[in-house]
Amino acid sequence: MPSVLVVEDDPSIRQSLIEVLTEHGHVVRSTGDGFGALREVTRARVDAVVLDLGLPDLDGAEALRMIRGISSVPVLVATARDDEAEIINLLNAGADDYLVKPFSGGQLIARLSAVLRRTGQLPGAAGSAGIGAAPTSDPLHPVLVGELAVDPGARTAHLAGRELRLTRREFDLLAFLAHHCGHVVSKRRLLTEVWREPYVDDQTVDVHLSSLRRKLGESAASPRYLLTVRGVGIKLVAPR
């Protein structure tokens, strides 16, 4: 049975989507915001996503881009706006198809089945869309760590849906740590790979780390995302 993730913040619309999909034999998971969607796509097997574009935390188009950064799962966008330019943008950004609200259950099922057939997710169909693929080693791929989302391609970082205002160097530092998330990186390596100036003093790194910490709402004394491993370096982790 295909597993479908419904991303919709309106509880009554969400409920009716869940009912229609369940009636048609889909296993349904649901979430009300963009970060929830990213978490589900990362964590569970999802064969298709029905993505509302008006979400409380992330702009739907941005959520789509971030999903595309970590998975090739088919995405059907549901938009209230019948705006051709926007729809073309969404299709270019990686949406597989779209629905303009209000849409019928019949239309949803038909479009979803077509998308699942195309991507080989319906029983009997060949191939795989590479669902749940691990993040690639491409340093430009978006990374989600706890509630922190770093998108090196767009050069944006959001914490719990709020965009962080970072200097160029702070962003480079955060993006490098995000790309090596969970692994300790030495200050020497940061100087070589972020600053590209191996003769700069270690204190330069400390100064930038401390301002990055402040923007992440933490300090060296009570860290959440940026953990210092004494004598070794620093690592970015999801807060416990």
Residues that bind Ca ion (CB under 5 A): 9, 52, 54
99/79 Cα distance (integer angstroms) = 6
Q: Which is nearer to Ca ion, 11 or 239 (CB)?
A: 11
Q: Min. distance of Cβ 154 from Ca ion in angstroms?
A: 22
CB closer to Ca ion out of 38 and 166? 38
CB of 53 to Ca ion, least distance (A): 7
Least gap, CB of 13 to Ca ion (angstroms): 7
Nearest-angstrom CA–CA distance, 126 and 128: 7
In the three-class reduction of DSSP (H, G, I as helix; E, B as strand; rest coil), residue 18 is classed as helix
Angle between helices 11-23 and 105-118 (to 10 degrees): 60
In whole angstroms, the minimum distance from the beta carbon of 59 to Ca ion comes to 11
In angstroms, the CA 85 to CA 29 distance is 30
Helix axes 34-43, 60-70, angle to 10 degrees: 20
In the bound state with Ca ion, the residue whose beta carbon lies nearer, of 54 and 135, is: 54
Which of 58/70 has CB closer to Ca ion? 58
- Nearest to Ca ion by Cβ — which residue? 54
Q: Please give the order of strands across the beta sheet that includes 3-7.
A: 27-31, 3-7, 48-52, 75-79, 97-100
Question: Minimal distance in Å, beta carbon 101 to Ca ion?
Answer: 9
Nearer to Ca ion, 11 or 153 (CB): 11
